[in-house]
Every structure is written in C-alpha cells, then in structure tokens.
C-alpha cells in the first residue's frame, strides 16, 4: 500500500485498536490525535498529585475487553492489573430505600429478601434468565452492526421478542419491587434517558455483574490506553499527538486526503475515524453527503456527557465503590465514585480522588448553556447525600457538557446518538461508510454503547472491514490472512 497509508483519526480506544490491527496486517498507519495523550474519554489527568479518570467510564466488561486484546495478540490480565469488585454499587432514593449490588448473587439476593420478602427469589430468577439470554446473544457483540435482523440470520430467532421490548417492559415482567427495578435501570439514567425508551439488553447489567464480575484497572482507566498506545508504537504505528484533523477531503464520493490544523495535507485513500460518527460526517467530511442525509443525521437524538466534579476528599473510604442517589420526580440520578473504596494503593493517602457525576438530557444541557450547566453542577455539589463518611473535600476541577465538547471535540457537546430501543433495532452506524468510499468508523457510535470494551471491539471490527475490502481488490499487496476474521 505504500507510499499511500491509512489515516486513523483519534487515539481513543477504537482508534488505537484499529491502528494496531491494521499495522499488524502490514498497513502503513498514521494515527493523529488532537490532544497530548491517548485514550480519549478513557484517558486520565492529575491534579494536586491525585490521578482521576477523565471520562464517564466507571466499570469494565472484562469479557469484551479480553476479546479485543486477544485479537491484537495481547493478554489483558498480563498487561493491566485488574481489581475485581465485591461491593459494587448501591442506589438510594427519595423514599429512603437502599438497594445494594454485590458480585455475589447470593449476597445480593439476601439483601433484597431482607427488605422485600419474596423479592429475592424473583430477582434471582430474573438474573438467571438474563444470563441465559446474554450467553446466547453475546457473540453479537463481536459482529459488525448487531441488530435483530442479523440475529435472525444467525439462528437466534427465539430472542427477537426480547430485543423488541424496552427495558421497562422487561423489568415489569420480572415483578420486582419498584426500588429494585429502579436500581437495575439506574444505568439508563446515566445515559440521560428513561427506561421506557431504553433497549432491553441493558437488563444484562446485573447478569454480567454476577456472571463475570465487575472490574477496575489499578491506576485508572487510562492504564488501558497507555498499554495500547505503547503497543501501537511497537507495531509501527506513526502516532502523532497535538495534531487535529480539520477536514476529510472527498472527491467523486471517495476519500482523497485529510487536512490538519497545522496546515498539513496528507493524501490517502483510507480513513478510519474514531472521533464520533456524527462529528465525522457533519464536521469533517467536506462533500459527498446529500442535504437530505445531513438533515437526517442532524435530527438524531443525542446523549449528553452530563456534568462532573473532580474532588479530593478526606475520610475513611466506605464501600461500595459506586453510590447512586435518585432524588425522585423527573430528576435523573447522581453518582459518587470513590476508587479508594476498592484500590488499596490509594487508601492510605490523606487526600483521595472522588468524582461526583450527574447526567443531563441533551436538550436540557443545550437550553441551559454554559452558565446554566455550571449552576446545575453547583446545585449537585450542595446536596448532602454524597458527603457521608467524607470529612473534608476540595473541588479541583469541573466539566460541563460545553467543557466536554470543547476539550474532546464532541459534536454539539454530545457523546453519541442516544442508544435507545429504536437505534438498537436498526443497528448502530456502519463501520464502512455507505456514503463515502474509503471512509470507516470506529468508536461507540458504531457499537452498542460507550463501554471501554465496546469501543475497543469497534476498532477491531472497523479494521477488519477495511482489510477485507482491500483484500478483495488486491490481497497480495496488503493483507496478512492471519488477521482477517469474520
């Protein structure tokens, strides 16, 4: 393929895994990252000597991440020190109910049964059912653009009715107490959407917690990006930081070059974009999209990153790792994240890291604007619920949707199009652009959500799609068949 090369835009999880897979298959790969380090929303930063996870990621799906690492020839457990969580999260509400989730199913069942006689057994049955469905559907997570249509084609017809339901319908059928049902669905609130609009696979969260466990990398989520960035360089990827791509030049429906903010024009026939599907199509691609398509893309519902306060706190770290509070009414949840509750390497420090997170509906964040978003975050900080066991705190940094958008180059200050029941049924954005020849997408806009593992998987799948396309044209010049999968 030389002297031409593949340009990968963005060193987030998907960009890193795509670049590595392409380089290992023999491609000349240039990975351009606008920021000074890799990881995107899974990166970290240090303030006052305390390291924080920068983005919204709080738990790892070890199964998906293990799969992604294995495709690259890496062993996750050998590369990243992982902490298995026992006491994972609790949800308190305005009525005083508290539901607690442990990695142990029996322990969780006992806690639910103690408060609601008979509900423990129903919760156990619900989890067993979801684990069974998950086992059948999990291969879809490593297939391009999973959807019910693809499921039917693969022989999984019996689970189509499940996929056609909303999370609310699935939980209603489980006949669980309202507080338990709301505690299971609290993850939909983190995405800023009600459970009535959320897809049924979000019911897998407790199933995964009790089946494979919840994990957290010692040192923070950024440790995963550090491993992948180093490996990318070792594999020959030309990784350039502080280089923002401003335009993808398209002529006659084909990628021709990219332009950067420092004045470079780099010819290429192949671009893998990891900076979000909507941002790629609406902000980077300079031609080749019809007005009707642009209007359609502009009208997609969006997910806001919400607000976040980065705190240093004093006080004995108390389990669980995650403390959700649901104030009731039409308000979304709030979340306190205390890594010191699970990371023994930080428990002895006088000051420890904590994050206070609150989701926002995207339309509400746009309506409020920068100042209104800041006022909302201040109101969250003034709430008393999160200060339990915290004797003193310092506010070190904040991020609002406007701040996230400016720093990370997010389209309209959003993370992604919302992953709701409708988008799950039709499938996410395609890894190979159906509109622009030579353009490929990775990242969470192409997979079922913004988990680190899903983003990493998306990079593998986008690289495979590109490699297969090139193999079809001229395998002798480019492809190592050992890296081509289904």
Residues 235 and 264 in one domain: yes
Identify the domain boundary among 376, 411, 446: 411
345 lies in the same domain as 242:
no
| Together in a domain, 293 and 425 | yes
Shared domain check, 233 and 189: no
Identify whether residues 385 and 338 lie together within a single domain.
yes
Is 266 within a domain? yes
Task: Tell which of 360, 394, 411 closes a domain.
Answer: 411
- The answer to whether residue 464 sits within a structural domain is yes
Q: How far apart are CA 148 and CA 155, in angstroms?
A: 11
pLDDT in tens, 303-349: 999 999 999 999 888 889 999 999 876 678 999 999 888 766 666 67
pLDDT value at residue 138: 78
Q: What is the pLDDT of residue 86?
A: 92
- Mean pLDDT, range 376-395, rounded to an integer: 94
190, 213, 236 — which closes off a domain? Answer: 213
Least confidently predicted of 112-126, 191-205, 428-442, 470-484 = 470-484
pLDDT at residue 310, rounded to an integer:
97
Q: How many domains does the chain have?
A: 3
Q: What is the CATH number of the domain that holds 275?
A: 3.50.50.60
* Residue 208 included in any domain: yes
Please check whether residues 377 and 393 belong to one and the same domain. Answer: yes
Q: Has residue 188 got a pLDDT over 90? A: no
Please tell me whether residues 107 and 208 are part of one structural domain. Answer: yes
Confidence of residue 176 (pLDDT cuts 50, 70, 90): very high
Considering the domain architecture, whether residues 427 and 296 belong to the same structural domain is answered as yes
**Residue 119 and residue 169 share a domain:** yes
Residue 425 lies in a domain: yes
Rounded to two decimals, the pTM is 0.91
Same domain, 122 and 149: yes
379 & 312 share domain: yes
Q: Is the same domain home to 429 and 349?
A: no
Q: Which domain holds residue 389?
A: 303-411
| Residue 206 covered by a domain | yes
pLDDT in tens, 447-477: 766 588 889 999 999 999 999 999 876 644 4
Closest CA to 274 of 60, 16, 6: 16
């Amino acid at each position: 393929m030389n002297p031409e090369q593949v340009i990968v835009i963005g060193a987030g999880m998907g960009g890193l895994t795509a670049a590595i897979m392409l380089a290992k298959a023999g491609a000349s790969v240039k990975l351009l990252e606008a920021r000074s380090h890799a990881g995107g929303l899974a990166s970290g930063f240090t303030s006052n000597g305390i390291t924080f996870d920068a983005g919204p990621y709080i738990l790892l799906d070890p199964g998906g991440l293990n799969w992604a690492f294995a495709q690259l020839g890496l062993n996750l457990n050998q590369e990243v020190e992982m902490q298995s969580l026992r006491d994972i999260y609790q949800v308190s509400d305005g009525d005083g109910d508290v539901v607690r989730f442990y990695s142990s199913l029996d322990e969780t069942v006992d806690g639910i049964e103690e408060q609601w006689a008979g509900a423990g057994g129903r919760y156990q049955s619900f989890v067993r059912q979801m684990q069974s469905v998950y086992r059948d559907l999990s291969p879809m997570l490593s297939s391009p653009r999973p959807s019910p249509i693809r499921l039917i084609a693969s022989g999984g017809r019996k689970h189509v009715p499940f996929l056609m339901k909303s999370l609310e319908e699935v939980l209603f059928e489980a006949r669980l107490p309202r507080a338990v049902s709301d505690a299971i669905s609290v993850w939909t609130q983190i995405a800023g959407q009600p459970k009535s609009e959320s897809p049924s696979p979000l019911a897998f969260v407790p199933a995964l917690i009790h089946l494979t466990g919840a994990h957290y990398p010692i040192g923070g989520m950024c440790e995963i990006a550090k491993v992948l960035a180093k490996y990318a360089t070792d594999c020959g990827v030309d990784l350039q930081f502080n280089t923002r791509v401003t335009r993808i030049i398209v002529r006659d429906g084909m990628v021709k070059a990219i332009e950067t903010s420092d004045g470079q024009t780099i010819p290429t026939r192949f671009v893998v974009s990891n900076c979000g599907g909507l941002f790629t199509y609406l902000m980077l691609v300079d031609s080749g999209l019809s007005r009707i398509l642009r209007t359609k893309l502009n009208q997609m519902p969006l997910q806001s990153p919400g607000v976040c306060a980065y705190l240093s706190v004093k006080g004995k770290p108390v389990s669980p790792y995650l403390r959700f509070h649901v104030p009731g009414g039409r308000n979304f949840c709030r979340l306190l994240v205390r890594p010191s509750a699970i990371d023994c390497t930080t428990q002895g420090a006088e000051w420890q890291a904590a994050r206070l997170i609150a989701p926002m509906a995207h339309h509400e964040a746009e309506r409020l604007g920068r100042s209104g978003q800041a006022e909302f975050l201040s109101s969250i900080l003034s709430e008393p619920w999160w200060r339990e066991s915290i004797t003193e705190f310092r506010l070190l940094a904040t991020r609002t949707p406007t701040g996230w958008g400016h720093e990370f180059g997010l389209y309209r200050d959003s993370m992604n199009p919302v992953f709701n029941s409708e988008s799950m049924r039709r499938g996410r954005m395609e890894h190979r652009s159906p509109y622009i020849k030579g353009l490929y997408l990775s990242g969470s806009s192409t997979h079922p959500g913004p988990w680190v593992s899903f983003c990493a998987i998306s990079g593998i799948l986008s690289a495979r799609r590109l490699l297969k396309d090139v193999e079809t044209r001229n395998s002798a010049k480019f492809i190592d068949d050992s890296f081509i999968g289904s």
